[in-house]
Structure 1
Amino acid sequence: MINQAKIEHSGLVDDFIGLYQALNKDNLHLLAEVYDDNICFIDPMHQVNGLNALTQYFAKLYQNIGYIHFEIKEVLQDDTQASLFWQMQYRHPKLNKGEVVRVDGMSQLKFHQRIYFHRDYFDLGQMLYEHLPCMGGLIRLLKDRAAK
């Protein structure tokens, strides 16, 4: 029975990975396939509670994204949780002169039948601030000085 549960949850994590490989602004309804109705989602910008709120949050995030791809680097999991290490690549017309931005991150998932807790860890500067027209140069300068 324990082995079957591991297989079931492994399938959930695989479904999660597959979902994020295909996710875009036109298929956000697919979030319901892996997330619990009472999902708690946290990232460096927001905390969102509930599947409807998460769907609306993603709709805003994906609104101007021309391209997004997640490359999963490593997955660690047991019967009730998983950690995924990834690199996100995306393109936004107002960031990095419309060129691809790469962000390294990690997702912590907790689940029973579906995922009820999802927390993302990533450098918000790497994702956003360093690619803003005015702030980017200043942030890179500050990072360089801090490294000396």
Structure 2
Amino acid sequence: MDVTAVSSVYKQLNKANLHLLEGLYHPNVVFEDAAHRLEGWGELKHYFESLYSNVHSCTFDIQETQQQGDSGFITWVMALEHPKLQRGGTVYVNGVSHLKFSQGQVIYHRDYFDLGEMLYENLPILGSVIRTIKHRLGE
């Protein structure tokens, strides 16, 4: 298993085919992102089932992959349609996944992305406050 195989799965991932993830992850996988730390395939599987049950759509456009030995990186743009974000419109989030492999499966998966870009900036009221703060910081 390598970053190309993982990228291939994520390119086609949707609500109807979450079973594609099962062979990808090691039973003792550690998954981290800006809001979560999950340990074990059972927790990660539940996370994905919950995530995809609450969204209209979540797709990944893979930009680039790099790997050296048992460690690699994938850059991506996620297109997320959630009923509570942007009135159900599409939110685009740029991110990077750091992956480590063991025994032919992903043992470590860490996603790096701007939680503000994904969530806070797309919520009513709070979004305009966050955008104003970012604008003022850029002056």
- The interval holding the TM-score normalised by the smaller chain is over 0.9
Structure 2 equivalent of residue 16 of structure 1: 6
The alignment of Structure 1 onto Structure 2 pairs a total of residues equal to 138
Secondary structure of residue in 2 paired with 1:26: helix
The aligned counterpart of 2:46 is 56
Aligned to 2:119: 128
* TM-score (ref. length: structure 1): 0.88
Look up the SS of the partner of 2:22 in the other structure: helix
Q: Which residue of 1 aligns with 2:109?
A: 118
- CA contact 2:34–2:113 (8 Å) conserved in 1: yes
1:99 positional shift? 1.0
Q: Equivalents in 2 of 1:144, 1:32: separation in Å?
A: 42
Identical counterparts, % of pairs: 43
Q: Which AA in structure 2 matches 1:138?
A: V
The CA distance in 2 between the partners of 1:142 and 1:79, in whole Å, is 42
- Whether the 8 Å contact between 2:58 and 2:81 is mirrored in structure 1 is yes
Aligned residues of 1:82 and 1:110 also touching (Cα < 8 A): yes
Give the 5 Å matches for 1:63-82: 63-82=53-72
Structure showing the higher strand proportion among its residues: 2
Unaligned runs of 5+ in 1: 1-8
Distance 1:132 1:32 in 2: 33
CA deviation map 1:32-74 (0-9, x unaligned): 2111011000000000000010011111111121122211111
Contact between 1:29 and 1:55, CA under 8 Å: does it hold in 2? no
Greater helix proportion: 1
Could you say which residue in structure 2 is the equivalent of 1:30? 20
What's the secondary structure of 1:33's corresponding residue?
coil
Larger radius of gyration: 1
Partner SS for 2:42: helix
TM norm structure 2: 0.93
Counterpart AA for 2:47: Y
Shift of 1:29: 2.7
RMSD between aligned residues? 1.2
